[in-house]
Structure 1
Amino acid sequence: MDILVVVAHPDDADVFCGGTIAKHAERGDEVSIVHMTRGEYGGLRTDSQEAVGRVREQEARDSGAVLGASEVAFLEFKDGRITYSLENRVEMVDVIREYDPDIILTHYKDDLHPDHRATSRLVTDAYYMASLPLVETDFEPCDPDNIYYFGKPTSEFTPSMFIDIDGYLEQKVTAIKKHESQVEFLVEHGGIDAEFDNLIDGLRAENLVFGKQAGARSAEGFVPLHESAQEFLG
């Protein structure tokens, strides 16, 4: 199985679905993580955007290696400035066709961060268009089976299916800790993204709560575009 994870920023994949990525990678699935931006706004006032982007890209590559991702890639969108447009939608069609995934993971449509919302809409609409033979791009049409959305407690996101990540939670935590620049930054900015206060402890607690809902020790929650329920995402 080929899985494409499309996220707005470095660390999004680890935080929201790191356990699921690790679980699929261990069983031999190809999991590619594509970042819309390099997260260049995620720095302190003394940092330049270029320097922050370089650091965050390397952190994402390091964390992807911990999770066992087959590929970690970056598009050329600007942090905080992802917009929905026909041009960007066609670009996302080409991304999906290039990777030709069975499954796509991405942000839920309702989210505090505008980049997350824009990414969700671009991926969803491109998913539909990717299979249309008369939509011409650089790659051949493909037809992924499903999209699974992950979300944040600050939104209306309510998971309807869960992936048991018992045995992968610590691997997820190790991957998140590779984002050293962001752990400090997000804790300092807890007033903006309150769910990042006590980042690691909060994620452990969330995954344990999801686990109780799913009858597992720990789990990650998703909302599928097409309803399904199974141990793996396909």
Structure 2
Amino acid sequence: MHLTAIVAHPDDAVIFCGGTLAKHADRGDDVTIVYMTRGEYGGFDTTEADIATTREAEADAGAETLGAEAEFLDFEDGRIRYSMENRLQLVNVLRKHRPDVVLTHFRDDMHPDHRTTSRLVSDAYYMCSLPLLETESDPWEPQNVYYFGKPTSSFEPETYIDIGDYQSTKEEAILEHESQVEWLKEHGGVDVEFDGLIEDVRAENRVLGRTRGVKFAEGFVPLHKNATEYLGSM
């Protein structure tokens, strides 16, 4: 199978679904992470271009640690907008990669880029199988979309993935985002739940795991409620 995660910023995939991505890659699935932006607002005392260069390199390294391929789109950090043009760009992304399952942000999130990405991906999913809608790639119909969320939102998981064997891989991938580990220490108050990034992510995964009797877990909300073998629902 092919699993594609579409995320707003370079560290979003490793933080919210890195264990699941690593688990699927390890079982031989094709895993791709599509980054909407290069996260050029996420830093101090330097230029947007410098931050973007650093964060792209970190994202490449994080994806490699998880066993995933990486692709970058050219949206601007903090300025992702909902439009038909952008929706069609995401339609073509889905058609190009032809994923069975798509992972993306939950609709209710503090960050405007996360909310807009969620809406764009959801609507692109709806449109990408339409035979009369022409893009560079042929129509494709993913089987489902799974949303991940932040603990500050109304997100309540319905699908849980046991990542006990992959928590350490996830943390290694997070540590590749060295600039963000430091940025979030200084950026508390907005992203306060992640101001101690590794410790807080580990705690969140441990809490989710305890609800299912495993050591660590990640949680998702599926768009469709139909049963599926994908994501290894517990």
TM-score bracket relative to the smaller structure: over 0.9
Alignment match, 1:128: 126
Query: SS of the residue aligned with 2:91?
Result: helix
Query: SS of the residue aligned with 1:40?
Result: coil
Q: Cα offset for 1:232? A: 4.4
TM-align CA RMSD = 1.1
Alignment deviations for residues 114-152 of structure 1 (CA, whole Å, 9 cap, x no partner):
000000000000000000001110100001000000000
- Between the aligned partners of 1:213 and 1:30, the Cα distance in structure 2 is 29
Residue 40 (str. 1) matches residue 63 (str. 2): no
TM-score w.r.t. structure 1 length? 0.97
Alignment deviations for residues 153-181 of structure 1 (CA, whole Å, 9 cap, x no partner):
11111101100001100100000000001
Answer whether contact 1:110 1:117 (CA < 8 A) is retained. yes
What letter matches 2:48 in structure 1? Answer: Q
| Runs of 4+ that moved beyond 3 A | 228-232
- Between the aligned partners of 1:140 and 1:28, the Cα distance in structure 2 is 25
- Between the aligned partners of 2:227 and 2:193, the Cα distance in structure 1 is 27
Alignment deviations for residues 40-94 of structure 1 (CA, whole Å, 9 cap, x no partner):
00010x110000000000000001111000x101000000000100110011100
- Between the aligned partners of 2:138 and 2:227, the Cα distance in structure 1 is 30
- Could you tell me the percent identity over the aligned residues? 59
TM-score w.r.t. structure 2 length? 0.97
1:95-174 aligned at under 5 Å gives the runs 95-174=93-172
Answer whether contact 1:162 1:220 (CA < 8 A) is retained. yes
- Between the aligned partners of 1:184 and 1:112, the Cα distance in structure 2 is 20
Q: Cα offset for 1:195? A: 1.1
CA gap of 1:192–1:112, structure 2 versus 1, over 3 A, is same
Answer whether contact 1:161 1:228 (CA < 8 A) is retained. no
Alignment match, 1:213: 211
- 1:183 aligned residue (161, 181, 184): 181
Q: Which runs of 5+ in 1 are unaligned?
A: none
Moved more, 198-207 or 140-149: 198-207
Query: SS of the residue aligned with 1:76?
Result: coil
Q: Cα offset for 1:191? A: 1.1
Query: SS of the residue aligned with 1:233?
Result: helix
- 2:191 aligned residue (187, 190, 193): 193
Query: SS of the residue aligned with 1:136?
Result: coil
- Between the aligned partners of 1:61 and 1:203, the Cα distance in structure 2 is 20
Alignment match, 1:77: 75
CA gap of 1:206–1:92, structure 2 versus 1, over 3 A, is same
What letter matches 2:14 in structure 1? Answer: D
Alignment deviations for residues 10-60 of structure 1 (CA, whole Å, 9 cap, x no partner):
01000000000000000000000000000000010x110000000000000
- Between the aligned partners of 2:70 and 2:6, the Cα distance in structure 1 is 10
- Between the aligned partners of 1:229 and 1:16, the Cα distance in structure 2 is 22
CA gap of 1:210–1:232, structure 2 versus 1, over 3 A, is farther
Query: SS of the residue aligned with 2:81?
Result: coil
- Between the aligned partners of 1:230 and 1:86, the Cα distance in structure 2 is 31
- Between the aligned partners of 2:133 and 2:212, the Cα distance in structure 1 is 40
- Between the aligned partners of 1:198 and 1:58, the Cα distance in structure 2 is 22
What letter matches 1:62 in structure 2? Answer: A
- Between the aligned partners of 2:227 and 2:151, the Cα distance in structure 1 is 22
- Between the aligned partners of 1:139 and 1:200, the Cα distance in structure 2 is 39
Alignment match, 2:31: 31
Alignment match, 2:221: 223
